[in-house]
Amino acid sequence: MTTPAYRADVRGIDDFSARAFHELLKLRCDVFVVEQKCPYPELDGKDVDALHLRLLDGDDLMAAARILTPHDDGEPVKIGRVVVSPAHRRKRLGETLMREAMAACDARFPGHVVALSAQNYLRRFYESLGFVATSEVYVEDDIPHIDMQREARAQ
């Protein structure tokens, strides 16, 4: 299956309209809290300082990820809240989203390791993108996770 046409959009919270940010949060809650039956603190205070990557088809939100910016030179940039809309699954958007996220990290934070906390069942998917496990499997919000990272890339 081919990847549908999309527009990648990376911006900070202050550059969103209230409706657009509401749509982003709704997608994350619909998938992580409702679909995965995992009550957790979605509004964790980190969105304010993060970059938000969206894949859009016109105004239709297809997928999104959050990029937590590093505060120090040795700190990794972190990708999280990786989500594909149920209406757009089976279109290889997860891979497309992650490639866009990694490109955004490399362009904005060259020389920084890229890290993430993956749901363990997605470990091979992230390994196919160049990530390696850096922890044992642990349980977070009743879901097995594993920490992973990809080496820093120079721009």
CATH of the domain at 96: 3.40.630.30
Structural domain count of the chain: 1
Q: Is residue 92 part of a domain?
A: yes
Q: Is residue 123 part of a domain?
A: no
Q: Is residue 117 part of a domain?
A: no
Of 140, 131, 35, whose CA–CA distance to 83 is shortest? 35
Q: Which residues contact 28 (CB under 8 A, 6 or more apart)?
A: 42, 64, 81, 83
**Block residue for tokens 């497309």:** 96
Q: Is residue 80 part of a domain?
A: yes
Q: Is residue 145 part of a domain?
A: no
Q: Is residue 135 part of a domain?
A: no
> Residues 24-59: pLDDT tens digits?
999 999 999 899 888 888 889 999 999 999 999 999
Angle at 95 between CA 90 and CA 97, to 5 degrees: 100
Q: Is residue 53 part of a domain?
A: yes
Domain limits for position 36? 7-110
7 vs 90: CA distance, rounded Å: 18
> Residues 96-118: pLDDT tens digits?
999 999 999 999 999 999 999 99
150 vs 133: CA distance, rounded Å: 9
Which pLDDT belongs to residue 42? 86
Task: Tell me the pTM.
Answer: 0.92
Q: Is residue 146 part of a domain?
A: no
